[in-house]
Amino acid sequence: MLVIDCHGHFTSEPAQVAAFRSRQLSALESGDASGVALPVITDDELADAVSGNQLRVMDERGIDVVLFSPRASAMGHHVSDQRAGEIWTQLSNDLVYRVCQLFPNRFAPVGQLPQVPGGDLQPSITELRRCAEQLGFVAVNLNPDPSGGHWSGRPVTDPYWFPLYEVMEDLQIPGMIHVSGSCNPNFHALGAHYLNADTTVFMQLLEADLFSRFPGLRFVIPHGGGAVPYHWGRYKGLAARFDMPPVESLMGNVFFDTCVYHRPGVQLLVEVVGTQNVLFGSEMLGAVRGVNPDTGSGWDDTRLYVESLGLDEETRRALYEGNALRVYPRLERRLRDAGR
Amino acid sequence: MLVIDCHGHFTSEPAQVAAFRSRQLSALESGDASGVALPVITDDELADAVSGNQLRVMDERGIDVVLFSPRASAMGHHVSDQRAGEIWTQLSNDLVYRVCQLFPNRFAPVGQLPQVPGGDLQPSITELRRCAEQLGFVAVNLNPDPSGGHWSGRPVTDPYWFPLYEVMEDLQIPGMIHVSGSCNPNFHALGAHYLNADTTVFMQLLEADLFSRFPGLRFVIPHGGGAVPYHWGRYKGLAARFDMPPVESLMGNVFFDTCVYHRPGVQLLVEVVGTQNVLFGSEMLGAVRGVNPDTGSGWDDTRLYVESLGLDEETRRALYEGNALRVYPRLERRLRDAGR
């Protein structure tokens, strides 16, 4: 059995990456960022960036494969310059691609998209095609609030998004719902904005009938689904009260990861959502690094929480491997090609 | 032992109330709402409004007392006319007051405030004083996002709010954090906006040091604390990572209700937050009405979930009675005066 972690970001990228972004944003403020030179990063630098970080933790915790995408808080979709967003996105995706080529049996690439608030989605579609068709990406991160905490755009069920969904469905590329940083002082990015987005999008999906139109479209809602599993009865009751389809009707298309950083939360998640819709994830070296002094283990060592539940072998296999291979059709092929 | 439900709204108000608000809003659109006549509502109408609704359910479920406030979704703080908000608020609070006078041993009044987006808080302070000093209110609902889902205002830890907190502390009036309806199409009011606000405010409180300045200020975060207890490990870990005070440092001032509509959620809440910081609440006849067909019981019959946990007598007494009497100092006096 493989242990596949569906939620990892390149949070240990070489310093040149942030330095480039900083130069790009400064140049944008001056009016033109087109001449900002891309950083030169060697394969050795990329290998070093993950060897002492993600790969070390994966080995310590027995994680075989991580679905690996650019740092979420750095996506910065609120920056409204489309061309600058494309350059930044391509650089970020190319680095993820290279890490995954260096360690093809440990990482599978997941992309970011060059979204801008209210912008045309064609550049995102172009990048999605490049990632999936040329670079072997298995999924993409989709930001439901490119404005960065102002929520000035349209719900994910609005026809605005349909052209992108058509291509995602066609390419068998699931979307992880993931906002970037918060520009709104009300929302701490990691402690409010991320979780609010997860909660918000689930309710948007419950209100609409998106998956009748896109039956092959799949969304992974990270961070254990925000507030949703904890309020599972609320959603069931709201669906009944307002004559929406039952929450179960979403379960062919919507999945939650286990990025919930204590045992009772993971236990509730698995109990109420059911094992077919939960994917192992840890987002290690992400929002919540460090060691819980009460346990001596990492807050984000979600394997410990899963292992403590006393699940039978079939359920463990679904959470760690089977569900991921089912949800991400391109992953199995990729892992087979890598000799796993 | 009393069973005190800390979270109830007057959601069964006579039809004249909404009709008045509708006339007021129409008049505002035409420029002047000052001449709109207040509705005439008799005591019999008010008694009828609760007898077949809240009182009936309270009797069925063994709830002795409900902390009773105006309908949350109707507060409508996004309407920016200060004077119209004051009239609407006074009417809403007066009706709650009258219901509580009619059934003084079953209801205790909780007010709304005439907040407007970014507005001066003096009118809210005036109404708070009127409610507490003249009408015997025991608490107040505080809207952390008067803009109604645009989150254009300041975090609840900003000095903007301090004049109000001084009076709340002085009068021993706790605040229930409760948004009103959503004007943002991204946020379903009941399925996203309410929960997001709960999550957001808890993180604001964790980021700041509000209670060193206002040690007597108390907030109740409803709907089981939004996403917070489910992500308790996340908050502990974020506090450690960013050198914030630990979550435990908030526990003298921040409380959660049990408005979580399934057993696993209530179980997690009581387990991780601890029994001293959880208050029984149901918000019955609120967001999630109706019967769960799988159990034959009301979704919002949260007593059933609490009773199913097998808690000892001391814990049950804390959840149902003791914590509420401690958190709301004016409640005990009021119940004693009513002969309870």
Q: Chain A window 296-315: which residues touch B at a Cβ cutoff of 8 Å?
A: 299-300
Q: What's the pLDDT tens digit per position in B84-114?
A: 999 999 999 999 999 999 999 999 999 999 9
**B288, A241: Cβ pair inside 8 Å?**
yes
Q: Are B238 and B206 in contact (CB under 8 A)?
A: yes
Q: Which of A128, A118, A102 is nearest to A41 (CA)?
A: A102
- % of chain A residues with pLDDT over 90: 99
Strand ranges (E), chain A: 4-10, 65-70, 107-111, 139-142, 175-177, 219-221, 254-257, 278-279, 291-292, 297-298
Task: Give B50→chain A minimum CA distance, Å.
Answer: 21
Measured CA to CA, the distance from residue A128 to residue A111 in angstroms comes to 8
At B43 the pLDDT is 98
Let me know if A101 is exposed, middle or buried by CB neighbors in 10 A (0-12, 13-18, 19+).
Answer: middle
Q: Residue A135: its pLDDT value, please?
A: 98
The token pair that represents A125 in the structure block: 């579609």
Q: How would DSSP label each residue in B4-17? A: EEEEEEETT--HHH
For B28, the token pair is 């505002």
CB contact under 8 A, A227 and B187: no
Q: Of A155, A238, A265, which is closest to B288 when you measure between CB atoms?
A: A238
**Mean pLDDT in residue range A266-282:** 98
Whole-angstrom distance, CA of residue A153 vs CA of residue B163: 35
Question: Is A56 a residue whose pLDDT tops 90?
Answer: yes
- State the Cα–Cα distance between residues B17 and B28, nearest whole angstrom: 17
Best interface-test mutation with A: which of B231, B257, B284 has the largest number of A CBs within 10 A?
B231
CA dist., res. B99 & res. B86, Å (int): 20
Kindly give the interhelix angle for B263-273 and A263-273, rounded to the nearest 10 degrees.
180
Quick check: is A86 catalytic? no
The beta strand positions in A93-151, using DSSP E, are 107-111, 139-142
Residue A90 confidence (pLDDT) = 98
Residues B177 and B173: their CA atoms lie apart, in Å, by: 13
The alpha-carbon gap from B141 to the nearest alpha carbon of chain A, in Å, equals 19
pLDDT digits (tens, 9 = 90+) for B230-286: 999 999 999 999 999 999 999 999 999 999 999 999 999 999 999 999 999 999 999
Element (H, E) at A125: helix A122-129
CA of A37 vs chain B CAs: smallest distance (Å): 33
- Joined tokens for residue B38: 């207040």
Task: State how far the Cα of A263 lies from the Cα of A269, in Å rounded to an integer.
Answer: 10
Tokens, residue A222: 């990270």
Nearest to A186 among B200, B236, B293 (CB): B200
* Alpha carbon distance A215, A28 (integer Å): 40
Chain B residues 87-116 within an 8 A CB cutoff of chain A:
none
**Runs of H (alpha helix) within chain B:** 15-29, 43-51, 54-61, 82-102, 122-129, 135, 162-171, 194-207, 210-213, 232-241, 263-273, 302-307, 313-317, 323-327, 329-337
Of A190, A193, A195, A236, which to mutate for an interface test with B (greatest number of B Cβ within 10 Å)? Answer: A195
pLDDT in tens, B115-125: 999 999 999 99
Residue-wise burial string across B70-109, b where 16 or more C-beta atoms lie within 10 A, e elsewhere: bbbbbbbbbbebeebbbbbbbbbbbbbbbbbeebbebbbb
SS3 label, residue B176? strand
Tokens of A241: 């009260």
Distance between CA atoms of residues A293 and A37, nearest Å: 44
- Could you tell me which chain B residue has the CA closest to the CA of A289? B241
By Cβ distance, the residue of A203, A230, A288 closest to B191 is A203
Q: Which of B5, B146, B19 minimizes the C-alpha distance to B63?
A: B5
- pLDDT-derived band at B60 (thresholds 50, 70, 90) equals very high
Question: Which of B267, B260, B279 lies closest to B311 in space, CA to CA?
Answer: B267
Res A340 pLDDT > 90: no
Q: Quick check: A223 and B231 CB within 8 A?
A: yes
**How do residues A78-119 score in pLDDT, each as one tens digit?**
999 999 999 999 999 999 999 999 999 999 999 999 999 999
Q: How far is CA A21 from CA A39, A71, A89, B180, in A?
A: 10, 12, 10, 39
At A140, give phi and psi (nearest 5°).
-145, 150
Q: Which residues pair with B292 in a beta bridge?
A: B297
Q: Which residue of B has its CA nearest to A228?
A: B227
Q: What is the mean pLDDT of chain B?
A: 97
> What is the C-alpha to C-alpha distance for residues B340 and B335, in angstroms, rounded to an integer?
5
Q: Torsions phi, psi of A182, nearest 5? A: -105, 130
End-to-end CA distance of chain A: 10
Tokens found for residue B83: 């004077």
Return the amino acid letter for A86: E
pLDDT tens per residue, range A215-256? 999 999 999 999 999 999 999 999 999 999 999 999 999 999
What is the value of ipTM here, to two decimals? 0.98
With bands split at pLDDT 50, 70 and 90, how would you rate the model's confidence at B220? very high
Q: Which residues of A touch B203 (CB under 8 A)?
A: 187-188, 191-192
Is the pLDDT at A306 greater than 90, yes or no? yes
User: Rounded distance, CA B91 to CA B19, Å?
Assistant: 13
Nearest CA-CA distance, residue B21 and chain A, Å: 24
Q: What is the mean pLDDT of residues A48-69?
A: 98
pTM for this prediction: 0.98
Does B157 contact chain A (CB < 8 Å)? no
The predicted-structure confidence for A168-182, as pLDDT tens digits, reads as follows 999 999 999 999 999
B5 forms beta bridges with: B66
Task: Give contacts of A 193-222 with B, CB under 8 A.
Answer: 195-196, 199-200, 203-204, 206-207
A contacts of B153 (beta carbons < 8 Å):
186
* Number of C-beta neighbours around residue B64 at 10 A: 17
Q: Is A283 on the interface with B (CB under 8 A)?
A: no
Segment A26-46 mean pLDDT = 96
Contact B45, B15 (CB under 8 A): no
Q: How far is the CA of A138 from the CAs of A156, A169, A332, B136, in angstroms?
A: 21, 12, 9, 61
The pLDDT confidence band at residue B329, using thresholds 50, 70 and 90, is: very high
**Using CB atoms, which residue from A153, A236, A268 is nearest to B264?**
A268
Q: Which helix (H) or strand (E) holds A239?
A: helix A232-241
pLDDT-based confidence at B340, cuts 50/70/90?
Answer: confident
